[in-house]
Structures are given as structure tokens and as C-alpha cells.
Copies of this chain bind each other. A is one copy, B any other.
Amino acid sequence: MSDANSVMQTNSTTRDWSAQAYRRFERERSRPAAELLSRVPARALRRAVDLGCGPGNSTALIAERFPGAEIIGLDSSPDMLTAARSRLPRVTFRQGDIVDFDDPAADLVFANAAMHWVPNHIAVMRRIAERLPPLGCLAVQMPDNENEPTHALMREIAAGPRFRVKLADAAAARQPIGAFADYDDALSPFCDEVDIWRTTYVHCLAGSDAIVAWVESAGLRPFLSPLDADERAEYLALYREGVARAYPPRAGGGALLPFPRLFIVATRREKD
């Protein structure tokens, strides 16, 4: 579920790659989850559930912020859960799908970079908000980059005559992100406060190939997996070309990748 941030690099001509930079990028990788968590109101929690917890990065942040709460991580992938359990032995990790989640005792439901894979995620968020206990909180962060050149290009190449048949369903793997009002409409009937914001982070990568590497293990997967080896090479060659055009090298070297993400923190009304 986590984004493929591990390819983030500095431009070696003007910037220094070092252990210090590596630690900085560690912080960068956890930044959206940390910023989401920082907007969850301060109060004593009984139970916090991390939906789509992956290897437990966001779960660790939640456990640190709310040391008195019972923490539960939920993910559909056994591999992710194994990694999470070995990282956080004192946290409960369970296998399950977000769409089936229903735990009225959870007073924080946290979903970092997970909800955009859930069909009809706005209806799912609405149901979760409705079932929260009074003053309980739903906190969601989703990549909102479907209209960035990186992602428009994936669909554009897939729609061409060469790939049209095999990739007919590729673009549908990911759920479209709604407008601000869609989330406010769904959540405000149950919540006094619906805090919505959208942040575009500007990542400085080594060049356009680093941008391709960034999306290869995330958004590009549904476009590559239906293809055989030759087709995949052909698709990737077209994709590399397009990305190089859309993200030209900068004067000082490197390329900037703007990456928008949508954040929602909804707090359940105290009394209905």
C-alpha cells in the first residue's frame, strides 16, 4: 500500500548525497502520515485502527502519539502483516479488507495511502464516520495525482492501438478521487468538523528516469502486469520518453516531481 518513495535521490551535481540526506528522506517518506496524524485532535483514545497499515510505518507513528491507546493494524497482505508484526511486536495486526471494516469501539480510524484502492471509498468513509463513537475521528490521506502528467501518460499510452485491448481495465484499478465537496457532503451529516486540505509536495529527483522508477512500483503496476516481457519493454520505452518530455531536466540537473495528496480529518459529532 505504501508509495514507492525509496527511489528519491538528490541531484548529485549540486546537492550532496549523504547519510544526513538519507535521514532527511526517511522523514520525507513518513511526512504525509505524520502531517495527517498531527491534525487528529488531542484526546485520550481507547482504540486506534490503522487501515491498510502496510509494514507498520504509520502504525508506529500512531502508537507514539497515543501511547495509552490500544492500537490495531489492518491489512489485506500477509507479507505486510509479517513485516509489521516483527517491527511492532506489541501491536495487534489483523488480516482484512478495509471495505469490511466495522469496529464501533475504534475512536480513531486512520487510513494513510490506502483508501484510494477501495471501491466506492467515499461511501465507505461515510459509513465509518457514521459508526464512530462521539468525538471519534476518521483520518484519511490519499495520493491525488491521477491528473498529473505521470499518470495521464500511463492512460494515454494504454489507450493507443498497441495496448488498448490488454490494458482496457488497467486505469480502473485505482479509484478516482472526489472533489472537496464530495467528502464534506458525505461526512458533515455526522461530523461537526470536517477538515479537508490538499498538499502538493515537490520532490527533487535525480532525473526523469528516477520519476519512472518512483511510479513503477506503484501507479504503473496495473499497466505493466497484464503485459508480456516484450510489450512491457515497449510500453516502458514510450513511457520513459513521455516522462522525459513532461519533466525536462532542470538547469542545475535533476527533475521536480509535484505530488498532490488529499487529506481529510473528520470528527464525529458529540451528540446526534
Contact = CB atoms under 8 A, between A and B. Distances in A.
A90 B191 CA distance: 42
Interface residues of A, number: 26
Contacts of A181: 250, 256
Contacts of A252: 185, 188-189
B180 A202 contact: yes
A256 B184 contact: yes
A199 B38 CA distance: 15
- Within the oligomer, what is the number of copies of this chain? 2
B180 A258 contact: yes
A196 B192 CA distance: 32
Contacts of A250: 181, 184-185
B14 A251 contact: no
A231 interface: no
Given A15-B188, A189-B252, A250-B185, A200 B201 contact: no
13 contacts: A14-B188, A14-B189, A15-B188, A181-B250, A181-B256, A184-B204, A185-B250, A185-B252, A189-B252, A196-B202, A197-B200, A197-B201, A199-B200
